[in-house]
Each structure stands twice: as C-alpha cells, then as structure tokens.
Structure 1
Amino acid sequence: MIRSLASSLLFVLLAAQPALGSPAPAAAAPAAPAAAAPSGVWYEIFVRSWYDTDGDGTGDLNGVTAKLDYLQSLGVSGIWLMPINPSPSYHGYDVTDYEAVNPQYGTLADFRRLADEAHKRGIRIIIDMVINHTSNESPWFKAALDPSSPYHDWYSWADKYTDLESGSAAGSQAWHAAGKQAAPGQHYLGIFTAEMPDLNYDNSAVRAEMIKAGQFWLKLGADGFRLDAARHIYENFPWDVDDPAALAKNLDWWNEYRRGLDAVNPHTYLVGEVTQPAATMLAPYLKPLDAVFNFPLAVQLIDAAKSERNQGLGPTLDRSYAAYEAVGGKAIKDAPFLSNHDQERVMSQLDGNPQHMRTAAAMLLTLPGEPYIYYGEELGTLGKKPDPALREPMRWQRATRAKGETRWKTGNPANGAAVSVEAEQADPHSLLHFYTRLIHWRSEVPALRDGGFRAYPEASDHLAAWERSDGRDTVLVVHNLSNQPQTMALDVPGEPHYTRVLKQTGPGAAIHGSTLSVPAYTSVVLQ
C-alpha cells in the first residue's frame, strides 16, 4: 500500500507540471522508495494511559491514531490494544458489551479510522478478546440470575453436590454467591474474581456469540486478537491443570473459533495468553493459534541479563523450539516478550540497571517469532505491583501537564522527565534509540526476522550466542552479558565461517583470525 501511495503521488506531481510551448526533454522519473520490510515486532498499548486527545485526562483511540507515526518510526509492525470494550473497571478485563467501544475511549468510527491509518503505515492491529468470562454487570449475566432465562445456561452454576469452598485453577475462590437479585442459594463460577463470571462453553449459543463478536471486529478492520486466559476456557479447577481432557476441550474450542474467524479473514492472527511454565506445555496451542506468549522464556531472558550469565539459554531454546516445530511446523511460531501489563516492568525487575536492560532487549529482539514490547519499555519505565502501577501514563513530554499526557493516575516520581519520549528522542544514546536500532535490524536482516534458530557453542558462560538462518543467509548473534570484554572462537568444526561484523550495538567488536572479541554489554551480528 505504501508503494501504491508513492506511485499515486508521483503521478500527481508530474501531472501538475506547467504546460510549456515546447516539450521539455524527457527525464527519468525517480524510483518510488521501496516500502521497508516489516520487523515483525508488536507493541502493547493500554489505551487509557497512552495519549489523550479530548482533554479529559484519559487516553483514547484517537490518541493511538495520533501517535502512529511514533510507532512507525520505532519500527514496530503491529500493535496490541488492551481491552477497549465497555467495562465497569479501569482495566477493561470484565466486558459488558463485545460489540462496542468503551465511551471513554471513543467510538466504533474512531476504531475504524485507527485501523485504516495503521494499515496505511503497514501496521497491523489486534485487540484483547476477553471471552473466558464477562463482567457481572453484563446484561447477559444480569438476565442469567433468573433460572428461567435462556441466559442462565450461558454461565456455570453450583448444584447441591458442589464444594463451594473449592479454589480455582487461577488460585482464587471458584464459586461466588449470586446475591440478592438472584434466586436464594445460587452460586456461580468465576475463577478470577466475583466480578468476572465464567462463560459456559458447553453451550453452543455462547460459542456462536463469541465467534460472532470476533467476526464483528474483523469486519471493522482488526487483524486479529490477543486471547486472554486462553487455557482457562475449560481449565477451571486445580484438578483440571495438566488434565489431557481439559486441554483437548480447550483446543477443540480454539479450533472452532479459528474456523469461524477465517470465514471472514483467512489471515486472522491469533496469539494466546497461555500461562504455562514450559515450552512443551505451550506447544499444543500452536495448532489452532498463530503464537502463544512465551512466559518461561521471559523469566530466562531477565535472569540471564541480571546475572550476566547465559544459564544454558541457547540449549534451552533449542529444546523449546523443537517442541514448537513438532506441533506448529518448520516456522517457529512464538511470541517472546520481557514483561506485560500483569508483570513488574523490566527495568524494575533489573533493579534499574540500564546495561542489563539493554542486554535483555538485545536478546529479545534477535530471537525467532514475533517479539512483543510493552508500552514505555523502550523508555526504561519503572513499575512494581500493585497492577495499576504497572499501567501508568505513557510519558511523552518532559512536563507531566503537557498536552496529550494522560492524568487518570499519578505517575511514579522515579519516572521523571528524563524517562520521556521528548527527552530520549533528543539523546542519540538513549534506550529509545537503542530499541529503535534493534527493531530496525529485524527489517534490515531478514534472517533475524524470519530465520530458524540453533544455539552456538559458547566459549564463556558470559556469552549468549545463536545462529539464525532463513535459507538464503545465515547470521551469528552474540551477546556479551557481562561488564568485561569477552572472546569466542569462530573456528568451530561444522559451523559456517563468519568473517564480517554486520551489526553491533556499540563500537569495538572485531574478528581477529578465528576469534571474535566483544566489548562489555555489547551485542553483535556476524555474517
């Protein structure tokens, strides 16, 4: 689309030349600039905290549209919007209407405009689809409190044999009293909180309604969905965890969902939140889904950066990707990340160490799959629990009261004026510029974006090294995790002969014969 726009603009400019008495000598038209290759990097946005265009202190969809050029300059090729549906909570993970926009965020027309403008820039857009449960303020649930209502069976209710004290697979109370509006003694299933009653996916009407909701957003311009609590559709109780029957029912539903969405857009992208501690437990979901968030890898990357040791990261990744490929095919379908809206921010996990932050980012952005960045991560934003402190306003200007800054929550004083887009754009050595450079590497070196993975024999436990090959080119990525220069042998039998430093995050990396030397806290790509 970028190429077609450039061609149209060229035609208009040529047609607008003034007519002269004699024709001017023919000149070769300048070639339209080629569209940049996608990076495959996604960026998670909490709309409430992003950018405010109407002055009410709350971020909105038009604010996302207003900052698409920032996202394009960063180099991301997709954005994930946390829930934008109407909801009684600030976070939106308890939906009351699946085919509407939270009025604080705007309108359906605003979303369509956002999608159109994102697509013009080569940016895909996915939204959070929260369909394991609804809000207890949902009209469906309010109707379901009447046992004679057809909506009653849209939820799960306790019977006389139910242990009302049972915990849930999410670690909280499973059953909740329905309250005064319901028939006496009714209890419903809500594995997260009482405000989030679980939908009953054994009811075909529920399945049809959720597929319909997905199709609705695809028709409005969404490219896919982030599937909240994807494993919990049928994994509700502690005894369901690791139960093959619960897994089979989950996969059956997501396959049905996939078929329903593909009927509208066969290129729909689905990424699942599957909170499991091992790649072998994530892999089954790659049959119906395009990717799942790699939670165990996030822990490994941060531990490696913090300890300055690879801790067997390369071989662990070899095994993980083998498990993925056994299910999902040759292409590595993965969604690596460092943190998200439920976890303490990366810079806080790394105790504010800027070098460790850069190391973690460099590892993330040289891995297979499609990496995810949480908004503000590229600035080094700090944030520790409770959850609202992880979702604070994005800092655009040095001044907190500048136009567009959201004010729904007071920001952490530790995230001062220096942790802002304005300040970091002005500093060529900032973390923002570091992230931008790494993301653009994925556009410039196809093997980093599309290649497979093979761990490289490290010469030191302070190095993490892996090969990325896309069938046309093979590159070697080496990360020095430590505060001391490191060397590594390049004459490993059976390995390609690397002779050129193609990319490096800082100066000084060099190849001397068959030995690579890498300065402290530096990442390099060899060809």
Structure 2
Amino acid sequence: MTPHPDYANTHDRAVAGRYEAREADWRNGAIVYQVIVDRFAPPNDPQAKRRLYPAPKHLRSWDESPDQGMFLPEYQVWSHEIDFWGGDLASLRGRLDHIQRLGADVVYLCPIHLAWTNHGYDALDYQQVRPEYGTRDDVVALADDLHGRCMRLVLDGVFNHMGRQSPAFQAALADPSAPTRTWFDFSDAYPGGARSWANATNLPELNLEDDGLRDYVYGGADSVVRSWLRDGADGWRLDVAFELGMSLLGEITAAAHAEKPGSLVLGEICNYPAEWFPELDGVLHFTLREILLRLADETIAAPHAQRMLTRLYADADYEHLLKSWIYLDNHDTARVANTIRDDAARRLATVLQFTLPGAVNLYYGTELGQRGGDDPESRAPMRWDRVTDGNPTLAWYRQLLDIRRSHRALRIGDLRWLVTERLIGFERYTDRIGDAVFVLANPSADTVGETVLLPDSKLMDSSGLIDQLTGRRHVSHRATVTIELPPHTAVVLVGDREPRHGYTPYKRVK
C-alpha cells in the first residue's frame, strides 16, 4: 500500500548508508552565498580602473546607490545596465573571511565572463573573464582559495542567449555564410532581425539544436562547461534553464558530471520542479519562495501552505530537493527586507528557509539587512560598514547559520509533516534520535495554542525539548507537545538527552 504523502518516509530510518552518503555529498543542504563581483567588495585602487569603463559606461562611487536609468536606443540597453562600482576578483578574495565566518559552503558568482553590461547576461565570450574583474587565472586563484577553506565555487552559465555585441552574433549578422550563422535564428519577423530572449533585442537566443554550438558550449572536451570545471569551478547555475528544456539540460548535466563527478548543475526553473530531475541536480526554488512569501504576508494560511508544501516535497525527487536552493531574494528580485516588511514575519520566513529540506541561497548583503526594491535597487554595493557585532540582522543570520551547522538533520535529514491545526509543523530526522529537529511556525497575526502530535517513535516520553532560537524548554508528553506561539514566531525544538544525575531515558535508544 502506498503511504499517504503527509506521512511518506516515516518508517524508513533503516536504509543503510543513506545519511552517510548524503553527508559526503557537498551539494546536499549546503549554504550558498551569492555574489555580484562588481558590487561585493570595493577595488583597492578605483582610479586605476577607470580606463576599463569607457563612455557610455560609468564608474560610480561605492557609497552611491543604483537607480532606474533611461533607455539608450543606440545601445539597446538601459543606462543603469552600464553603471559599475568596480568590484573585482581580487577584492572578493580579500573578503572571503566574512563569507567563511558565516559558515558558507559555496560561493556562487553571477556572470563573470566577458560581457558589455554590468549584469553580464549578454555574454560576448564565455571563455574569457571580463577585464573589469580580472583574468581567468584570477578565477583559478579564487577556486584554490575557496578549496583551501573547504568551500566550493559555482559559476553562472548563460547559455540560452548571448549579447548582440558578441563577435559570434556580429559575424553571423554581417555574413549569412559565417560559421556562427547557424547559432542564431534570423528572420525579418523578429524585432532586431533575430529571435531574442523575451524579445529583448540585445539578447539574441542561441540555437542549441546546432551541433557545432552544442560542442562549443558543453559537448566538446574544451567546451565552456567542461573547461571551467577543469579550471577549478565545482558547478554551474544555469540561467533561464526552464527555456532550455529537459533534454538539453540532461545533456549539459551529463557533460559536467563526466568532466567532474559530483559537480553541481542547478537550473533556474520557474516551473513546478517535479519533472526536472534527474536532468538537473537541483533547481532554484521559485515555487517554494512563492509559498514562503505568501505565508509571511498572510495571503496563504498555515494549513493551506502546509498542504502545498506537502505536495511539493512528495511530488519531486527528495534527493534532488536536498540539492535545490531555497532563496528569499536575489539579483532578480527586491530584497527580502522590502518584500516582507514586518520584522517578525521576515524572521519566520528565514527560519523556514533554514530548516526546510534544501540548500540555503543567501544573497550578499541580506545578512546585513540591506534594503532595495526591484532591479537595479536590489543590486546595491555591499554595506561593509554594517558588518559589526552590533548589527541585529547579522546576529540573527549568524544564529540561524550556527543552528543549521549544529544539526545534521537540517542539512541531510528526511522530512516528516506534523499533525497541526493552525500551525505549520514538520520534523527533520535521520536514523539517530539525537539528530531530530521539530519545527513549528505560526504565520498568523494571532497567538495560537495547540497540542501537536510528534510521530517519532524514538522520542522519549516526558523528555525535554529545547528551542534553539530562545533556549526555552518544552516537554513532550505521550508523543505530543502543547505549545503557544505568538504571532509570526517559530520554534526549532531539539530533544534534551543530557543525563541528569547520571540518568537518561535514552540509555538504550539512540
């Protein structure tokens, strides 16, 4: 009989080696720190870099904030797309201590390849690093630095489209017999004469059905995907992956794994994630983010949100969901301080981000409480003046990061939904009761009191449960806990197994 999805994976602790195998895979439950190199750390000598930003590009001061510009028809871009702040790979390497202190396992870089705009999603050459950032040797050095700190490097692969100014496109545009002509789809029916992503004429789409182009991007031994992995990268985040389609994504993933077994290929998938595995190792969790934001602003009530989450985690392959990135903000969205304006609701959303199955994707500056609306406001320079022990937002994120590091089940454990009425509740567990973590959250504007069933057979009766957020002690009784949660609060409960005067009921149950 197939188990009800609410209770799937309840009695399967005994699968030999499951958790050890997950723990050995760096992709599972990782902390991923996202960086825009231009905005992360100021350059050592900004004046010396000015020659790299010829007009109409503009190098701005680190204390300036980005703002909406005007459309420049002669360049087919907005003026804020060619404003720069001067960060580079050398300045990033000088600030790795901050990322490491947070406990990040992975540094993910927005595009670093040669491009014309600041965001880099208009590639000119995938094999070159943009000179404003440095050289390919600088990327190798960064990867070496990260590996020396037991961290990994993930790059942004923008293979759905290139920039209109790329030599490949310009050659194809000028000469119908050019070798790269078949890389693009030309027609007078298209704005700008070629099929472009979202009809943005600066971003002509690539015809990945072309054999030569596939060989260049990922198929050949010296392809873009494989050569960067050889140079030290550990994986790829694929831009607009949902438009590449499942078949091509499977080929890219296979090529990456052939070059570097255990590398990560993660897709920007706006769609429901269930059928995108195993063509991808993981997805950027758009659907999960949508649920969490709507939960935080009370447009979805807790019982409905839990039903949606239950369905999501039941439908999609769990091993791949452990590798998928849970994010609340990034370079394409307003910052979470803007999207969830209530402090308590925002903290609740971050508790769920850090405790649900998956890898946490933390956007630079979010840990400092940086604010910003939609692009370009969300891409402001890192506020290093806020990296202080007195910053309450940084203290909160450090606490969540410490909790996640300290509890194995939050990184690689299975998921079991708790029986609740008005709260969201779930358990993350492994084959050891000492790993079990129970999470209860009240996303409503009312105080909620409930008696909640804790369906874990190894949880000892009348044993203590310690909230990792506050240190407050709760007591389980006959596999239940009675709890009262104020509005927009959560508890992260872990069993107290410490002996008292030499006695513990866990002496024979581990």
Residue 318 in structure 1 maps to residue 325 in structure 2: no
- Equivalences for 1:308-457 in 2 at 5 Å? 309-325=301-317, 332-351=322-341, 353-385=342-374, 387-397=375-385, 420-422=386-388, 425-427=389-391, 430-457=392-419
Q: Is the 8 A contact 1:43 1:372 kept in 2?
A: yes
Q: Is the 8 A contact 1:506 1:522 kept in 2?
A: no
Provide the rounded CA distance (Å) in 2 between the counterparts of 1:378 and 1:156: 43
2:387 partner letter: V
Q: Is the 8 A contact 1:315 1:455 kept in 2?
A: no
Shift of 1:117: 0.9
Judge which range, 101-110 or 494-503, deviates more.
494-503
Could you say what secondary structure the match of 1:96 adopts? strand
Q: Match for residue 42 of structure 2?
A: 52
Shift of 1:286: 1.7
Residue 133 in structure 1 maps to residue 181 in structure 2: no
Match of 1:465 among 399, 405, 425: 425
Shift of 1:332: 4.1
Shift of 1:39: 6.0
Match of 1:290 among 267, 281, 288: 281
Q: Match for residue 525 of structure 1?
A: 493
Q: Match for residue 464 of structure 2?
A: 500
Provide the rounded CA distance (Å) in 2 between the counterparts of 1:491 and 1:479: 14
1:265 partner letter: K
Provide the rounded CA distance (Å) in 1 between the counterparts of 2:172 and 2:417: 54
Could you say what secondary structure the match of 1:62 adopts? helix
- The Cα offsets for residues 365-416 of structure 1, whole Å up to 9 and x where unpaired, read as 001011211111112221112x11111111001xxxxxxxxxxxxxxxxxxx
Could you say what secondary structure the match of 2:307 adopts? helix
2:380 partner letter: E
Provide the rounded CA distance (Å) in 1 between the counterparts of 2:456 and 2:414: 17
Provide the rounded CA distance (Å) in 2 between the counterparts of 1:60 and 1:497: 51
Could you say what secondary structure the match of 1:225 adopts? strand
1:511 partner letter: V
Provide the rounded CA distance (Å) in 2 between the counterparts of 1:332 and 1:62: 32
Q: Match for residue 212 of structure 2?
A: 205
Residue 193 to residue 509, structure 1, CA distance change in 2 (3 Å) = farther
Q: Match for residue 99 of structure 1?
A: 127
Could you say what secondary structure the match of 2:344 adopts? helix
TM-score (norm 2): 0.77
Provide the rounded CA distance (Å) in 1 between the counterparts of 2:281 and 2:182: 31
Q: Match for residue 157 of structure 1?
A: 186
Could you say what secondary structure the match of 1:284 adopts? helix
Q: Match for residue 8 of structure 1?
A: none
Provide the rounded CA distance (Å) in 1 between the counterparts of 2:471 and 2:442: 13
Residue 148 to residue 263, structure 1, CA distance change in 2 (3 Å) = same
- Equivalences for 1:170-185 in 2 at 5 Å? 175-178=190-193
Provide the rounded CA distance (Å) in 2 between the counterparts of 1:490 and 1:259: 45
Match of 1:231 among 242, 246, 260: 242
Query: Quick check: which one's strand share is greater?
Result: 2
Provide the rounded CA distance (Å) in 1 between the counterparts of 2:405 and 2:454: 29
Q: Which runs of 5+ in 2 are unaligned?
A: 1-23, 47-84, 496-510
Residue 39 to residue 117, structure 1, CA distance change in 2 (3 Å) = farther
Q: Match for residue 181 of structure 1?
A: none
Residue 510 in structure 1 maps to residue 474 in structure 2: yes
Shift of 1:485: 5.0
Q: Is the 8 A contact 1:86 1:92 kept in 2?
A: yes
Identity of aligned residues (%): 30
Q: Is the 8 A contact 1:271 1:293 kept in 2?
A: yes
Provide the rounded CA distance (Å) in 2 between the counterparts of 1:66 and 1:500: 44
Provide the rounded CA distance (Å) in 1 between the counterparts of 2:322 and 2:448: 30
1:87 partner letter: A
Provide the rounded CA distance (Å) in 2 between the counterparts of 1:516 and 1:156: 63
Residue 431 to residue 39, structure 1, CA distance change in 2 (3 Å) = farther
Q: Is the 8 A contact 1:509 1:519 kept in 2?
A: no
Judge which range, 101-110 or 495-504, deviates more.
495-504
Q: Is the 8 A contact 1:511 1:517 kept in 2?
A: no
Could you say what secondary structure the match of 2:126 adopts? coil
Shift of 1:305: 1.9
Provide the rounded CA distance (Å) in 1 between the counterparts of 2:431 and 2:301: 30
- The Cα offsets for residues 325-378 of structure 1, whole Å up to 9 and x where unpaired, read as 2xx658744322112111111110112x22122111111000101121111111
Q: Is the 8 A contact 2:161 2:196 kept in 1?
A: no
Q: Is the 8 A contact 2:464 2:476 kept in 1?
A: no
Residue 270 to residue 518, structure 1, CA distance change in 2 (3 Å) = farther
- The Cα offsets for residues 102-152 of structure 1, whole Å up to 9 and x where unpaired, read as 111111121111111111112111011101011111110011111111211
Aligned CA RMSD, in angstroms, stands at 2.4
2:396 partner letter: F
Q: Match for residue 262 of structure 1?
A: 257
Judge which range, 88-97 or 435-444, deviates more.
435-444
1:339 partner letter: D
Residue 84 to residue 153, structure 1, CA distance change in 2 (3 Å) = same
Match of 1:479 among 423, 434, 441: 441
Match of 2:266 among 252, 259, 271: 271
Provide the rounded CA distance (Å) in 2 between the counterparts of 1:72 and 1:78: 9
Q: Is the 8 A contact 1:39 1:439 kept in 2?
A: no
Provide the rounded CA distance (Å) in 2 between the counterparts of 1:331 and 1:61: 31
Provide the rounded CA distance (Å) in 1 between the counterparts of 2:214 and 2:148: 33
1:465 partner letter: G
Shift of 1:508: 3.8
TM-score (norm 1): 0.74
Provide the rounded CA distance (Å) in 2 between the counterparts of 1:192 and 1:70: 40
